[in-house]
Amino acid sequence: AAGVIQSPRHLIKEKRETATLKCYPIPRHDTVYWYQQGPGQDPQFLISFYEKMQSDKGSIPDRFSAQQFSDYHSELNMSSLELGDSALYFCASTSTGQGEYEQYFGPGTRLTVT
């Protein structure tokens, strides 16, 4: 079965640079979520989109922004990167329009800020 696709899988950036992470949800899923997982930590919710509109917002820094496009893929844009932004970034998807609430996670993007 098709899963959530994330790219790139690994990314190395320097402080103050910009990064863009991409997420392609499971086909026919309409909702996308972004989570950040620091070393040894549980995933922390950043933001979500349903049908291309922001549906909920968590602890996402103002330096980060995200959007969902007409083909339902999503991008997380991160500017003015800081060392503390080094983490695993997960995207998850579900089909809210079908009354589903289980979130299926992608393999993650490992961001390292040096």
Partner 1 sequence: QKEVEQDPGPLSVPEGAIVSLNCTYSNSAFQYFMWYRQYSRKGPELLMYTYSSGNKEDGRFTAQVDKSSKYISLFIRDSQPSDSATYLCAMKQGGSEKLVFGKGTKLTVNP
Q: What angle is formed at CA 42 by the lines to CA 39 and CA 48, rounded to 5 degrees?
A: 115
Q: Which residue has the tokens 């330096």?
A: 63
Question: Which of 19, 24, 43, 72 touches partner 1 by CB under 8 A?
Answer: 43
Q: Give the whole-angstrom CA distance, residue 111 versus residue 21.
A: 9
Site string for partner 1, 48-77 (x = CB under 8 A): x-x----xx-x-------------------
Does residue 25 have a cis peptide bond before it, meaning omega lies within 30 degrees of 0? Answer: no
35 binds partner 1 (CB under 8 A): yes
> Which residue ranges make up the site for partner 1 (CB under 8 A)?
4, 31, 33, 35, 41-43, 45, 48, 50, 55-56, 58, 88, 90, 92, 101-108, 110
